[in-house]
A and B are shown apart, each in its own frame.
Chain A
Amino acid sequence: MELLDRYLQAVKKHLPWQRQDDILAELRANLESQLEDQEAEIGRPLTAAEVETWLKQIGPPIMVAARYQPQQYVIGPAIFPTYWYVLKLASFWALAIYGIVSAVLIFSAANPGISAVGAVVRAPFVLMNVAAWVTLTFAAFEFAINHSWIAWPASAVSPEGWSPSSLPPLEKAAASGKKPRTYAMAVAEIIFGFLFLGWLLLVPRHPVLMFGPGALYMQISPFQIEPVWYTFYWWIVGLNVLQLGWRCVDFSLGAWQGPRLVQQAVIKLLGLIPLGILIAAPSHLLIALKHPEADQARFGQTLDTINLGVHKGLMVVCAIKVLQLLWEIGQRSLEAYRRRIAATR
């Protein structure tokens, strides 16, 4: 009986404190009756080993006591889907904002390598922080609902509070790049590609084609662009030639209908190089004075401000482009994974 007493004592520690004496008295009565029955059946008291086996069958004290507890949730099934949705959204935006801020800090740091490593190491903590706050908020919400301090919106739980007409409109049936292209579209793309390339090649000789009347100001202004812009320009020309050539090959092979996912990804990836060239310009010098000796005193400070502003702007654009590319690669990979899973079922 000592073992049964010890067992009941262990159960008591995990019972709800308001009812533990009552529950324990009932459990004791039931278990003692059961023990008596067993002993009557075999005609002798149970040995310590037999009592131990019997108690083991009933289960660990903590598990037995847990059955008397009401079902409890940190976040219950009614609000869990909303919680999960908000958590994903918050994590994504936190990561996106963190990525942009980190990119700016990395490019302006004295040692970008160390700064980049630091940013990567801190990223999981940023995510954990966001997850903790979202979870804490929803747990508090669940607690408030359970204690009837607030009510869960009727539209979220009752069929009457919901209407099919409030559903969002249909999303585009096919994402761009997935829709099969017609022959005419493929031809038009190539023709416009050549026209655009021709226009681009004419710009250095005739800046008015790009800047309009602003080209005149460039001639009379005290500023001029640095040679790094010519490298940038030829990279853009090269990318257009590559894209156009790729399209021509696809066209000649009769593959103009298919999606151009790889092509798009490669062009976007290579498109980061000219941006990087501008960002890496020595001393962030993108615009210079035509006559520094004469104009330095008058326009020197303005020039520094312009160069720094353009440099920061380019870093933000670059960070956005990287995130866009990562997002697209992620989306495409997820889509491919879904298709593969669907194909195996």
Chain B
Amino acid sequence: MTVAESIFENLRLELRRGCLTLAVLAQLRQEHYGYTLRKALALRGLEIDESTLYPLLRRLETQGLLASEWREEDKRNKRFYRLSSDGERIFGELLKEWQAINASITSILNGTSILDSNDNGNS
């Protein structure tokens, strides 16, 4: 891997890290267990390694953003996750933040002011 490739890879991972959390929280508005969550995200174009997703679920649960319960399904015990009430509130705030960043980047790329866009939207 060249230096440029290595720098790109590090930046890509940094960029992805926050987005993955947001995507997981968004998907867990519906209940899932680890594997079906991974499949659901992959179906929407977001592939996540097992070794990244499963520990992430644990971490989010420890932080109180997810609630989980063990339940039997297809003759196998599985741990199902969903957003907790705290998780819903924080997810809402993160989503707003992400949308604001997205709008700013779009505005920077288009060379327009975000205030102009807001004004046009209001009129």
B96 at the interface (CB under 8 A from A): no
Asked if B29 CB lies within 8 Å of chain A CBs, one says no
Q: Per a CB cutoff under 8 Å, which of B50, B55, B78 touches A58?
A: B50
Give the contact stretch, choosing among A29-37, A213-221, A250-258: A29-37
| B79 on interface, CB distance cutoff 8 Å | yes
> A67 to B34, Cβ gap below 8 A?
no
Give chain B residues whose Cβ lies under 8 Å from the Cβ of A31: 35, 50
Q: Name 19 A/B residue pairs within 8 A (Cβ), A-sorted.
A: A23-B58, A26-B78, A27-B54, A29-B76, A29-B79, A30-B35, A30-B78, A31-B50, A32-B76, A33-B76, A34-B38, A34-B50, A58-B50, A58-B51, A63-B51, A64-B50, A67-B52, A67-B54, A68-B55
Taking Cβ atoms with an 8 Å cutoff, the residues of B that contact A are 33-36, 38-39, 49-52, 54-55, 58, 76-79
A59 and B51 contacting across the interface, CB-CB below 8 Å: yes
Q: Chain A nearest CB: distance from B68 CB in Å?
A: 9
Q: Determine the chain A residues whose CB is within 8 A of the CB of B39 once the complex forms.
A: 37
Asked whether, in the complex, the Cβ of A30 is within 8 Å of the Cβ of B54, the reply is yes
> Distance (Å) between the CB of A33 and the closest chain B CB?
4
Of chain A, the residue at the smallest CB distance from B53 is A30
Can you list, as one digit per residue, whether each of A55-77 has a CB less than 8 Å from chain B (1) or not (0)?
Answer: 00011000110011000000000
Q: Is A25 an interface residue (CB 8 A)?
A: yes
Chain A contributes a number of interface residues (CB within 8 A of B) equal to 17
CA–CA, A67 and B35, complex, Å:
17
* Cα A27 to Cα B78 with chains together (Å): 9
For A19, the closest partner residue in chain B by CB is B58
Contact of A25 among B35, B52, B77 (CB under 8 A): B77
A64 to B79, CA, bound (A): 18
With A32-B76, A34-B35 as contacts: A26 and B54 at CB distance below 8 Å: yes
Give chain A residues whose Cβ lies under 8 Å from the Cβ of B34: 26, 29-30
Determine whether the beta carbon of A68 is less than 8 Å from that of B58.
yes
Chain B's nearest CB lies how many Å from the CB of A86?
29
Expressed in whole angstroms, the minimum distance between the Cβ of A28 and any Cβ of chain B is 9
| Chain A residues within 8 Å of B50, by CB | 30-31, 34, 58, 64
Complex: chain B residue closest to A26, CB-CB: B79
**Nearest Cβ distance between residue B97 and chain A, in whole angstroms?**
21
Closest 7 CB pairs of A and B: A67-B55, A30-B34, A33-B35, A30-B35, A64-B51, A26-B79, A29-B78
